[in-house]
Amino acid sequence: MNRETKSGGPTVGKSRTDTRARVLVMGSGTSTGVPLLGCDCPVCTSSDPRDRRDRCGVYVSAEGFGLQIDVSPDFRVQALRHRIPRVDALLVTHCHADHCLGLDDVRRFNTLQGGAIPLWARRSTLGNLKRIFNYIFHSPPSQREMYRPKLVPMLLPGFPRSVRIGPFSVRVLPVPHGPVRSVAVEVSFSGRRLVLCSDCSRATPSLRALLRGADIAILDGLRDRPHSAHLTVNQALEVLREARPVVGRLIHIGHDILHEDLARRCAELPGVAPAFDGEELAL
């Protein structure tokens, strides 16, 4: 895999001649976002743009097809900032607010693309989305002309089965996320693999096996203090040390660590660094 990485995303999803997929980090932060409301810590007041961290989301594109993984409350601003041209499919990892509350903003892509968009998730996640966004999925006849997202719920198969989503082969592996479950997402394209696991409290043997040898591995690394629902930085680095991906990134980062300091800590592992908003990787 080419190790090319850059900031910004105006060309994401536009080239039909590039044989690589593009992986855009829409947001690298934890559920509060960074800066944190009412905080004047060194990270929240940092002038380094890499210390501004929107809520998590990743956009993967190839052959003119765009797959959006998670739609945070920051999704509209992210899509504008990175000039996202289209969303051909959605995948929601779990129903925590920071991963799904941008769903309503997808309706603009329905208008631009002139059709409904498949929404892929596990059965429990689909059920929760239908409950949270009842007006999208269960509008009464009197509201059917209301401007709302047009989504087609699609059930993700159980691991290790995969599903074809546009040009990608996709598998999801359930992972512990405190008292609930999220999923690690494997996106394969032209023999190369992205594994994204933004919310995880324990690296199970199955997750470690999935991460092993990935071309891009993006893994939860919240902070140094233990958290019941997330990996610490040291835990994440230990997993990446064992997995030995070509490129490794930490994501879902809190306001506890400056990007520059975290980058120095990651530098002992080849190809590993903290993700930042707008970072673009070639798969």
Give pLDDT tens digits for 14-53.
444 578 999 999 999 999 999 999 999 999 999 999 999 9
pLDDT at 17: 57
pLDDT at 5: 53
Sheet of 168-177, strands arranged across: 163-165, 168-177, 180-189, 192-197, 216-220, 247-251, 272-274
pLDDT at 42: 98
Low-confidence stretches of the chain (pLDDT < 70) are 1-17
pLDDT at 7: 55
* Cα gap 50→68, rounded to integer Å: 22
Residue 188's nearest CA partner among 281, 86, 60, 14 is 60
DSSP 146-200: S----EEEEEPPPTT--EEETTEEEEEEEEEETTEEEEEEEEEETTEEEEEE-S-
* Cα gap 179→57, rounded to integer Å: 22
- Beta-carbon neighbour count of residue 137 at 10 Å? 16
Inter-residue contact 276 to 9 (CB < 8 Å): no
Note the pLDDT tens digit of each residue in 119-136: 999 999 999 999 999 999
Task: Locate 164 and state its tokens.
Answer: 């074809």
Check: CATH 3.40.50.450 for 5-282?
A: no
pLDDT at 143: 74
Inter-residue contact 60 to 22 (CB < 8 Å): yes
CA distances from 72 to 156, 162, 163, 223, 231 (A): 20, 25, 24, 20, 20
Position 147: which residue type? Y
